[in-house]
């Protein structure tokens, strides 16, 4: 009955009374967890995170494995941006890849950073920033073949410009990059993102004819500014003449915007992925938006 009275007080907006009653429960033998849970929710609603931590520690003493307690501790870890701790507390339904990648970015020890990036990639092979980071860290340790294999696997799971950019950083020679890219994207030709990557790499390698073919396909499939801009650059280099270029510029004006990371919470666009939206502070809210693919990275935050 005490629990009901406490819940009723909370619903009625009487926080002091709710806190008092939950406090009584927390001291009653057998009801400690019910009381503590109520007190934790009260403290969280007030934004008193130190109190949340103190109470969660007490609750853990009674029953460390309680799922609600785990969820509370995860929320507390996320509030503190304690990514490693969040990763340890996260279940399979939570955005483990996001937590692991955020932890990898902060980790100064190279081997530990690599292990975290590997976890991020394994948790979500469609999450391009995780694959790109993992590949870069592998390359930094001179594990080139493995790095290229990761990029190839990631492309086959979900093509993304960050993967192509990472390949460009790992393989600076344009001809070698062209050859490697074709291996990486094999089987996914005819898709917008792949055609765009092929066009860029062919252009960089000076293969203007091939570059134009791929750019035309990319422009058709994506309809985005970046593809039309690239096509115009290639045609300019080919010396196609003014009328064609003018037509391209006109199409450019009507093209769809370039893809970007967009926050599901506030809608702000970001050039690079981040674990926390720089605009609104929401955790794991950035989703890739592109004409080629709206990749819904598994980024759900525990509700309770
Ligand atoms: Zn936001």
C-alpha 286 – ligand 1 centre gap (Å) = 7
Sheet architecture: strand order including 286-289: 269-270, 260-263, 286-289
Q: How confident is the model at residue 296 (pLDDT cuts 50, 70, 90)?
A: very low
| Ligand 1 centroid distance, CA of 266 (Å) | 4
pLDDT in tens, 192-243: 999 999 999 999 999 999 999 999 999 999 999 999 999 999 999 999 888 8
As a whole-number percent, the residues of the chain with pLDDT over 90 amount to 66
Span from the CA of 257 to the centroid of ligand 1 (angstroms): 19
**How far lies 76's CA from each of 17, 85, 286, in Å?**
25, 10, 20
CA of 26 relative to ligand 1 center, distance in Å: 37
pLDDT of residue 259: 94
Taking 50 as the threshold, does the pLDDT of residue 94 lie above it?
yes
* Closest residue by Cα to residue 264 from 234, 294, 292: 294
pLDDT computed for residue 63 by the predictor: 82
CA of 297 to the centre of ligand 1 (A): 15
30 pLDDT more than 90: no
Question: 278 C-alpha to center of ligand 1: Å?
Answer: 7
- Tell me phi and psi for residue 303, to 5 degrees: -75, -35
User: What is the distance in A from the centroid of ligand 1 to the CA of 270?
Assistant: 9
On the question of pLDDT at 302 being above 60, the answer is no
Helical ranges in the chain per DSSP H: 2-11, 15-27, 32-46, 49-62, 67-79, 83-89, 96-106, 110-123, 128-140, 144-157, 161-170, 174-185, 192-204, 208-222, 225-238, 242-254
In the structure, what pLDDT confidence band is assigned to residue 77 with cuts at 50, 70 and 90? very high
Average pLDDT of the segment spanning 85-114: 95
Residue pair 201/164 in contact by the 8 Å Cβ criterion: yes
Q: How far is the CA of 276 from the centre of ligand 1 (A)?
A: 8
* Mean per-residue pLDDT of the chain: 91
Global pTM reads: 0.84
From ligand 1's centre to the CA of 260, what distance in Å? 13
Domains of the chain: 1-80 (1.25.40), 171-257 (1.25.40)
Question: Cα(100)–Cα(80) distance, rounded to whole angstroms?
Answer: 15
Q: How far is the CA of 282 from the centre of ligand 1 (A)?
A: 6
Least trusted range by pLDDT, from 75-79, 133-137, 155-159: 75-79
- Confidence grade of residue 292 (pLDDT, cut at 50, 70, 90): low
What is the 204 CA–ligand 1 centroid distance (Å)? Answer: 35
Cα→Cα distances 51→22, 74, 283, Å: 14, 15, 22
Let me know if 53 is exposed, middle or buried by CB neighbors in 10 A (0-12, 13-18, 19+): middle
């Amino acid at each position: 009955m005490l629990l009901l009275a406490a819940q009723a007080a909370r619903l009625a907006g009487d926080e002091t009374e709710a806190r008092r009653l939950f406090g009584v429960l927390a001291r009653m033998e057998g009801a400690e967890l019910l009381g503590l849970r109520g007190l934790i929710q009260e403290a969280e609603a007030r934004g008193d995170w130190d109190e949340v931590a103190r109470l969660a520690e007490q609750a853990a003493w009674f029953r460390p494995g309680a799922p609600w307690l785990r969820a509370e501790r995860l929320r507390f870890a996320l509030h503190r941006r304690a990514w490693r701790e969040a990763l340890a507390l996260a279940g399979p339904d939570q955005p483990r890849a996001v937590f692991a990648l955020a932890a990898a970015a902060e980790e100064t020890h190279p081997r530990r950073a690599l292990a975290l990036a590997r976890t991020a990639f394994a948790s979500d092979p469609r999450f391009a920033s995780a694959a790109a980071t993992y590949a870069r860290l592998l390359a930094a340790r001179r594990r080139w073949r493995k790095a290229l294999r990761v990029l190839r696997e990631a492309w086959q799971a979900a093509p993304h410009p960050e993967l192509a950019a990472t390949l460009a950083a790992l393989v600076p020679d344009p001809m070698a990059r062209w050859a490697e890219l074709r291996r990486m994207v094999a089987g996914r030709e005819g898709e917008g993102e792949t055609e765009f990557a092929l066009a860029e790499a062919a252009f960089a390698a000076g293969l203007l004819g091939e570059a134009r073919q791929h750019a035309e396909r990319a422009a058709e499939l994506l309809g985005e500014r970046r593809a039309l801009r690239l096509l115009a650059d290639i045609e300019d280099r080919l010396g196609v003449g003014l009328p064609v270029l003018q037509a391209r510029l006109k199409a450019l004006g009507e093209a769809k915007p370039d893809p970007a990371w967009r926050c599901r919470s506030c809608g702000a666009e970001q050039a690079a992925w981040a674990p926390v939206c720089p605009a609104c502070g929401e955790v794991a809210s950035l989703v890739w938006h592109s004409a080629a693919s709206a990749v819904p990275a598994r980024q759900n935050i525990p509700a309770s």
